[in-house]
A and B are shown apart, each in its own frame.
Chain A
């Protein structure tokens, strides 16, 4: 079965510092992987997705993620954090047999950015 593990339920960084949010997946087939962001009282917004093309995926708002098959990881990074990046971030994998639109989500990581 597919699964996603996000390491660290809370991450705190200083404004301007590197953001690193960790995601490891388990999948018996080549996965499709996604990062979504949820701002307070809002729905989920897609940051980026990996669908077996380039392993380094660039998304919106300066975020990027690298698919590493050997490490079964899909960590999300941003070189310089901004106050507006404070939000909840979810990693997700497509469910086996369900296609890329049936997603299994990780528990989420809440990112705090302080001055």
Chain B
């Protein structure tokens, strides 16, 4: 299965700043997704990263707050904009290889906003 690398693995950020998380897959994948895992909670889908077009956001998430890029079939970025302490979470990138019927996840990026 695909191997997904995320960076940074963790960061401490100041309120009001923005941070971009990178997700690199070691093979071409059809679908890429971004999830958020708030402290002590389960995973919530933020958006589907579409190659060559705008991301598709889930209810409660907007592009201005979480802009996403996907310039090719192996790479995506998620930016967390104008951060507040409520954005302190683990952000996970996931991907699905064509025909695999399963999602593979990166190790996550743990953000702490002070």
Contact = CB atoms under 8 A, between A and B. Distances in A.
A107 B102 contact: no
B43 A49 contact: no
Contacts, number: 51
B102 A49 contact: yes
A67 interface: no
Contact of A102 (B45, B92, B102, B107): B45
A43 interface: yes
Contact of B43 (A41, A42, A90, A101): A90
B92 A44 contact: yes
Give the residue among B45, B48, B106 with the most A Cβ atoms within 10 A. Answer: B45
Contacts of A34: 102-103
Nearest to A103: B103
A46 B104 contact: yes
Given A105-B42, A107-B41, A100 B101 contact: yes
Interface of A: 32, 34, 36, 41-46, 49, 51, 90, 95, 100-108
